[in-house]
Amino acid sequence: MTKNLLDLETSPYLLQHQDNPVHWWPWGPDAFDYAEKYNKPVLLSVGYAACHWCHVMAHESFEDDDTAQLMNELFVNIKVDREERPDIDRIYMTALHETGEQGGWPLTMFLTPQGAPFWGGTYFPKTAQYGRPGFSTVLREIARIFRDEHDKVVHNSEALRQALNSVRQFDETGELSAELLDGIAERILQLIDMEHGGLQGAPKFPQTALFELLWRAAQRRGDERFTNAVTKTLTHIAQGGIYDHLGGGFARYSVDALWLAPHFEKMLYDNAQLISLMTEVWKHTHDPLLAERTAETAEWVLREMIAESGAFSASLDADSEGEEGKFYVWQKSEIDALLDGGTADLFSHIYGIVDGGNWEGTNIPNRLDSLTHLSEAEERKLAEAREVLFRHRAERIHPGLDDKVLTDWNGLMISALANAACVFEQPAWLAAAQTAFDVICAQLHDADQLMHSLRLGKARHHATADGYANMIAATLALYEATREARYLDRAVAWTGEMNEGYLDRERGGYFFTSSHGEKLITRSRSAGDDAVPNANGTMIANLVRLHVFTGDASWRTQVDALISAFKGEVLANVFPHATFFNGLDFLMRPDQCVLIGNPANTDTCDLRNAVWQSPLINRILVELKPEDDLPTDHPAAGKGLKDDRATLYFCRGTSCSLPVTSAEEFTRLIT
């Protein structure tokens, strides 16, 4: 093969590499057939469009003629977008971990012509530095070993293959109980940086599932230590440089322990999870900062992250003009020139803008030294200043937008916006969530199978289990928000498809990939979270909601089987399984709010809003018209209106409250 074959791909990341002198192949059987025919090792390079170090390696090596010539001579080179093919990324990243290496992107793996990994790493500099060998040196040595010491390749690839396909046995003694959840929360609490928030050390990621676990412990136990850990973390994230104070939205992580300096890419999944957590915490604290950041982030999504199809785009790049963060940072002289003297001084003082910069010679706007709100007049002046700077920044060269639509990440954002729309009474957010849902149904669902990625009108690759789980959660969120039966019907249908294509019928739980999809060297199955929640954890709450909404007891039977399937795994290592434990908490104490009334009447609306804005983290809103009936085994079965007014029954377990007919009564009941 004597040319680069990426020009026919749709992934923005792959298209970034279509003009490289490297003879890139897209992933597929043709590349491996070619490798077998000419007995060449495969160089697999995995990255994503918003990845800074992926860009660095591309500029240093993949755009360099001499390095490309060496790659073309010695290897069959395959380029993969990890967001488009998370199944491939998961397998080979796991293989890298099995070699004892720390993971990250770009992922660089060396494979046999049959696709078996035998060695790898992440970023390799063009010349030796950072304690890593130069990339050309690596290429020559790997090719030599493949040619002259093939027994080592066979040994390594077989060992990694066995590791990838091994089924670990876990000790399943111990109980999955509320006491266990409390103990896990206590262990996590010891790891929290109680000065700056987040987990101790650097870099710092938002870790929303872990902090939801702590928040659930706070609500379960009424313990202020857990409350403070979560609120301090969210305050510092919301006021730190990881947040874009001019345009809204959060970067993926902070490289320091203060939340000052972000790795500047903005990912849809991080922002979805932060909207969800901030909304949940606001319902208890009513902190105006969380309301502001939720609104600003939602508005950023609606302004900048809507793809041509109407669903949500994947990410914004960290780099612009070849520099990380250049779009977002400022010199103090720029701000002084754009704002009048008094306003410039106030803005610089509050947002940490100094001569010489607060980060690598430039300034990242942040409010880490001004965490609390100022006077109304000062905040109004700061808002006006931010608008001036935002308009000026808009004239800069923008970071690249990866506008592919991913089913799993869209599911997270649809859920987040649907819930936040009802809590904060923002119908535009709900409308955007509904539009994205309709796009997924129309363009990413084909022949009883969800697809994973959409761009340029082309749906590609079978959805992962995460895609199904997150979209089922999204449909159930839309059902609660709108009371439209079509959403519940879709959730039931998609759960059926997921059971048919992903369920492990021997051990229980879900595989990551569909039985109908491409056969890779292994088929992964776990309950551990990655940067996004794990499908097996997400499905716990989904199945509980399906049981409540449909009255079908088989959903409850299935959730019990799902929990049993991963009991040993989650007990062996609790830290990667926060979503699973959050689902377990939801299962143990769901708060059913059964609202009976005419949907359009004011009294019904008042009670509905009270439910949405209540601090109940395990809320399930079941809304009925007066003529509707609940299943006979539901604890509120047979209950109706009181005094011909909209009436709410609050149910926990098998018992329900007396009828409630006002928002004030409901608030008193649950506090």
Decide if pLDDT at 173 tops 70.
yes
3-state secondary structure of 127: coil
3-state secondary structure of 196: coil
Indicate whether 555 and 428 sit together in one domain.
Answer: yes
Indicate whether 470 and 561 sit together in one domain.
Answer: yes
3-state secondary structure of 78: strand
Decide if pLDDT at 548 tops 80.
yes
Indicate whether 372 and 441 sit together in one domain.
Answer: no
The stretch 502-531 carries a mean pLDDT of 94
Tell me the H-state helices in 39-177: 52-57, 65-74, 86-98, 135-148, 150-165
What are the tens digits of pLDDT across the range 318-351? 999 989 999 999 999 999 999 998 999 999 999 9
Decide if pLDDT at 467 tops 80.
yes
The one-letter code for the residue type at 116 is A
Residue 172 lies in a domain: no
Tokens of residue 328, six digits: 């977002």
Q: How confident is the model at residue 654 (pLDDT cuts 50, 70, 90)?
A: confident
Q: What is the pLDDT of residue 251?
A: 98
Task: Look over the chain and give the mean of its residue pLDDT values, rounded to a whole number.
Answer: 95
Decide if pLDDT at 446 tops 90.
no
Indicate whether 408 and 389 sit together in one domain.
Answer: no
Q: DSSP secondary-structure letter at 369? A: T
DSSP helix, strand, coil percent of the chain (3-state; round to 5): 50, 15, 35
Tokens of residue 237, six digits: 């994230």
3-state secondary structure of 188: helix
Question: Exposure of 343 by Cβ count < 10 A (0-12 exposed, 13-18 middle, 19+ buried)?
Answer: middle
Q: What is the pLDDT of residue 372?
A: 94
Tokens of residue 259, six digits: 């939340």
Domain boundary among 369, 395, 421: 395
| Residue whose C-alpha is closest to residue 264's, from 253, 248, 275 | 253
CATH number at residue 457: 1.50.10.10
What are the tens digits of pLDDT across the range 524-547? 999 999 999 999 999 999 999 999
| Residue whose C-alpha is closest to residue 525's, from 40, 143, 166 | 166
Q: How confident is the model at residue 194 (pLDDT cuts 50, 70, 90)?
A: very high
Residue 515 lies in a domain: yes
Q: How confident is the model at residue 1 (pLDDT cuts 50, 70, 90)?
A: low
Report the distance separating Cα 247 and Cα 276, nearest Å. Answer: 19
What are the tens digits of pLDDT across the range 301-316? 999 999 999 999 999 9
What are the tens digits of pLDDT across the range 181-190? 999 999 999 9
Lowest-confidence pick of 122-131, 146-155, 250-259: 122-131
Q: What is the pLDDT of residue 478?
A: 98
Q: How confident is the model at residue 503 (pLDDT cuts 50, 70, 90)?
A: very high
Decide if pLDDT at 130 tops 80.
no
Q: How confident is the model at residue 129 (pLDDT cuts 50, 70, 90)?
A: confident
The stretch 20-34 carries a mean pLDDT of 97
| Residue whose C-alpha is closest to residue 160's, from 228, 102, 70, 92 | 92
Report the distance separating Cα 491 and Cα 479, nearest Å. Answer: 9
Task: Indicate the helix (H) or strand (E) that contains 323.
Answer: strand 323-324
Report the distance separating Cα 618 and Cα 582, nearest Å. Answer: 10
**Buried b or exposed e, range 184-200, using 16+ CB within 10 angstroms:** bbeebbeebbeebbbbe
Residue 18 lies in a domain: yes
Q: What is the pLDDT of residue 101?
A: 85
Indicate whether 434 and 482 sit together in one domain.
Answer: yes
Indicate whether 595 and 584 sit together in one domain.
Answer: no
What are the tens digits of pLDDT across the range 260-303? 999 999 999 999 999 999 999 999 999 999 999 999 999 999 99
Residue 433 lies in a domain: yes
Domain boundary among 395, 421, 444: 395
Decide if pLDDT at 171 tops 90.
no
Indicate whether 391 and 415 sit together in one domain.
Answer: no
Indicate whether 108 and 254 sit together in one domain.
Answer: no
Q: What is the pLDDT of residue 128?
A: 86
Indicate whether 459 and 313 sit together in one domain.
Answer: yes
The stretch 562-589 carries a mean pLDDT of 96
Decide if pLDDT at 204 tops 80.
yes
3-state secondary structure of 556: helix
Tokens of residue 397, six digits: 């060269």
Report the distance separating Cα 30 and Cα 32, nearest Å. Answer: 6
Indicate whether 124 and 255 sit together in one domain.
Answer: no
Report the distance separating Cα 86 and Cα 534, nearest Å. Answer: 13
Beta-bridge partner residues of 642: 645
CATH number at residue 604: 3.40.30
**Buried b or exposed e, range 59-97, using 16+ CB within 10 angstroms:** ebbbebeebbebbbebbbbbbbbbbbbbbbbbbbbbbbe
Residue 171 lies in a domain: no
Percent share of the chain, pLDDT over 70: 100
Contacts of 56 (CB under 8 A, 6+ apart): 123
Decide if pLDDT at 111 tops 70.
yes
Residue 1 lies in a domain: no
Residue 170 lies in a domain: no
- CB 224: neighbour CB atoms within 10 A? 10
Residue 21 lies in a domain: yes
Task: Give the chain's domain count.
Answer: 4
The stretch 194-220 carries a mean pLDDT of 97
Expressed as residue numbers, the domain containing 266 is 178-319+402-588
Report the distance separating Cα 322 and Cα 58, nearest Å. Answer: 11
Decide if pLDDT at 476 tops 70.
yes
Q: How confident is the model at residue 83 (pLDDT cuts 50, 70, 90)?
A: very high
Q: What is the pLDDT of residue 326?
A: 96
φ and ψ at residue 266, rounded to 5 degrees: -110, 120
Contacts of 334 (CB under 8 A, 6+ apart): 392
Q: How confident is the model at residue 126 (pLDDT cuts 50, 70, 90)?
A: very high
Domain boundary among 535, 560, 588: 588
Indicate whether 17 and 131 sit together in one domain.
Answer: yes
Q: What is the pLDDT of residue 300?
A: 98
Indicate whether 614 and 541 sit together in one domain.
Answer: no
3-state secondary structure of 508: coil
Q: How confident is the model at residue 447 (pLDDT cuts 50, 70, 90)?
A: confident
Question: Exposure of 380 by Cβ count < 10 A (0-12 exposed, 13-18 middle, 19+ buried)?
Answer: exposed
Q: Which residue has the tokens 């970034």?
A: 16
